[in-house]
Amino acid sequence: MYTITIDRSRCKKDGLCARVCPKGIFVQREKLTIPELIYEEGCIACGQCVAICPQSAICHSEFSSTAIRTIQVEEMPTEEQVMTLLKTRRSIRAFRDKPLAKETIERIIDGARFAPSGHNSQSTEYLIVQDKAVVNQVSATVIEYLKFEIRRFGNPLFRTLASLADREKAESGLHEIPGFKQMVRLFESGADPILHGAPVLLVFHAPRTVGFADVNAQLALQNASLVAHSLGIGHFYTGWVLAPCRAPRARAWNRRIPGLIGIPPGHRLHGALALGYPIPKFKNMIERKPPQIRWV
């Protein structure tokens, strides 16, 4: 349980802490009175109270004075700058044969950890794979998984049973088989259609018991993607690495890659970014489809 106190000499009785606390721990019963603390055991250490108080009247055991810094509004990027960052980010699948510095990877993760998370669980953990042999083995394992899917979808009995269990998924899986075969051919010719020779694989994982851990990880991954782009680091979301981990009716495959790279037992792999210095750099940004919007 966290310890929270209000410095009564500093409090200006504005009630801001009570307005922003998502768990209702702060209650201002009347205007211009010092808020009361109730149900402190329900605190999720989100820091809203500490961040909102202009008088720094709230002391929270989770946040030391060194963890709190005044927002410098002049440092905030403009809307135009944010949109430029978003519009110029692209998935990069061609990398220089040059390792990334540890400090660069840590800066990317530092941005990732500031992503929102359900109940402020901050559940996402990170694993960095730099060993070239292991990275290559990850690609090879995905290819072996694709071969497995090609074989079982080639079995009429499996297709029938899969269709009875979930017709749409079965048809979707069957539709993917030609693409799987092409990727196997590329790999066997010496190419790497999975990780494209990326020098680093940044993996996002979390305990299976955490609610919304998958959503938390995807939010962290998006943060990491934008920080990587701002640093000039090429990257792409490696959906293929997740495919064996979520293979339906194929539990033997679900732990193959997590076991290979060292994901702890009881954790689930939720996402991964391939990282490296890009070749070449993109010079243009292009439009995307208009958003499909419905107002209710």
60: how many CB neighbours lie within 10 A of its CB? 18
CATH 3.30.70.20 for the 4-67 domain, yes or no: yes
- pLDDT score, position 43: 96
| Per-residue confidence (pLDDT) for residue 250, from 0 to 100 | 82
Of the candidates 89, 99, 93, 96, the one whose C-alpha atom is nearest the C-alpha of residue 200 is 99
Is-contact 121 216, C-beta < 8 A?
A: yes
Q: What is the pLDDT along the chain (296 residues), one digit of tens a residue?
A: 899 999 999 999 999 999 999 999 999 999 999 999 998 999 999 999 999 999 999 999 999 988 899 999 999 999 999 999 999 999 999 999 999 999 999 999 999 999 999 999 999 999 999 999 999 999 999 999 999 999 999 999 988 888 888 899 889 889 999 999 999 999 999 999 999 999 999 999 999 999 999 999 999 999 999 999 999 999 999 999 999 999 887 888 999 999 999 999 999 999 999 999 999 889 999 999 999 999 99
Pairwise CA distance, residues 124 & 110, whole Å: 12
Instruction: Please state the domain extents for the chain.
Output: 4-67, 82-132+194-276
**Amino acid letter, residue 102:** K
Identify the pLDDT of residue 267: 97
What DSSP line would sit under 191-256, residue for residue?
Answer: --TTTTT-SEEEEEEEETTSTTHHHHHHHHHHHHHHHHHHTT-EEEE-HHHHTGGG-TT-HHHHTH
Q: Which CATH number fits domain 82-132+194-276: 3.40.50.300, 3.90.550.10, 3.40.109.10, 3.40.630.10?
A: 3.40.109.10
Predicted confidence at residue 258, as pLDDT, reads: 96
The per-residue pLDDT for 165 is: 87
SS3 state of residue 37: strand
Spatial separation of the C-alpha atoms in residues 258 and 104, rounded to whole Å: 24
Contacts of 202 (CB under 8 A, 6+ apart): 105, 108, 109, 126, 127, 128, 129, 224, 272, 273, 274, 275
Q: How many other C-beta atoms lie within 10 A of the C-beta of residue 94?
A: 13
